[in-house]
């Protein structure tokens, strides 16, 4: 397996928030980065930020609910940079939603299709190329909702599922030299959370007051964990949900 400074990384949801910071952090560590997102403006802006800092990146418009898009994303890494060594499968959505029995099936299916099946599609495309390369490292974005019930039912189910996929992939492919882990962010200061705060500032104040760190997390703090998990320093960390939440779940 290559070191990050010699490798190629793909990041889904790379156009903003955690995905953008992960893309920047991979590039800072020396990787060539394929930034994937459905948000073209955000994706190209991430690439521009990487290039301004002296890194190398390319944007791919990829919807993780479309297998052809996901396959093309990985093929771009191969065509442009010679292969794929690292992946951060980060694209996802959140929704406060309703109680479990109050969803319609379309709402439920959309959440699962993006947050859970989207990660599976990415793994399905990434794993064969990493096997061909002799190994690699993949981090999937779950959530504190993946190890608790803090969230709506369909979101909690999707994020629990991501951890299950991560663990099963570890068992299936550890012998092929691929490491899989999940990062479980708490409440992070991303555009998604900022929008929620604008919609309900009192609720955001209540949430922040309930975090022992007494602040929201910075996307950079999640990105640092992702890149560390892909590094040789984490070579014996496999199949783990790594919680980065400011102490939220310690209570």
Tokens of 145: 């909702």
Q: Give the residue from 231, 166, 236 showing the smallest Cα distance to 1.
A: 231
What gap in Å lies between CA 86 and CA 206, rounded to an integer?
37
Residues 38, 61: contact at Cβ < 8 Å? yes
What gap in Å lies between CA 133 and CA 129, rounded to an integer?
6
Bridge partners of residue 10, in order along the sequence: 34, 87
Catalytic residue among 44, 103, 155, 236: 155
155 is catalytic: yes
Helices (H), the chain: 17-28, 40-52, 67-81, 105-112, 118-133, 153-173, 191-199, 201-209, 219-230
SS3 124: helix
Residues in the chain: 251
What gap in Å lies between CA 230 and CA 5, rounded to an integer?
11
What gap in Å lies between CA 79 and CA 58, rounded to an integer?
11
What gap in Å lies between CA 240 and CA 159, rounded to an integer?
14
Bridge partners of residue 182, in order along the sequence: 140, 241
Bridge partners of residue 32, in order along the sequence: 8, 56
* Active site members: 155
């Amino acid at each position: 397996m290559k070191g990050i400074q010699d490798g190629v990384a793909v990041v889904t949801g790379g156009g903003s928030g955690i995905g953008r910071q992960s893309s920047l952090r991979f590039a800072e560590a020396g990787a060539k980065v394929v930034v994937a997102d459905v948000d073209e403006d955000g994706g190209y802006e991430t690439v521009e930020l990487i290039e301004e800092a002296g890194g190398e990146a390319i944007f791919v418009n990829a919807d993780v609910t479309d297998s052809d898009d996901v396959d093309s994303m990985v093929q771009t890494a191969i065509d442009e940079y010679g292969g794929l060594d690292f992946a951060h499968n980060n694209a996802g959505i959140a929704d406060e939603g309703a109680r479990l029995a109050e969803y319609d099936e379309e709402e439920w299916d959309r959440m699962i299709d993006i947050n859970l099946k989207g990660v599976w599609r990415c793994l399905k495309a990434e794993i064969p190329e990493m096997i061909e390369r002799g190994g690699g490292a993949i981090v999937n974005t779950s959530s504190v909702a993946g190890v608790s019930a803090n969230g709506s039912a369909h979101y909690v189910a999707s994020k629990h599922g991501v951890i299950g996929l991560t663990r099963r992939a570890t068992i299936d492919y550890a012998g092929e030299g691929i490491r899989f882990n999940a990062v479980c962010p708490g409440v992070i200061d991303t555009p998604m959370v900022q929008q929620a705060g604008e919609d309900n500032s009192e609720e955001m104040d209540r949430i922040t007051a309930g975090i022992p760190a007494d602040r929201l997390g910075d996307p950079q703090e999640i990105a640092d964990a992702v890149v560390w998990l892909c590094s040789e320093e984490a070579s014996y960390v496999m199949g783990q949900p790594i919680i980065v939440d400011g102490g939220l779940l310690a209570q």
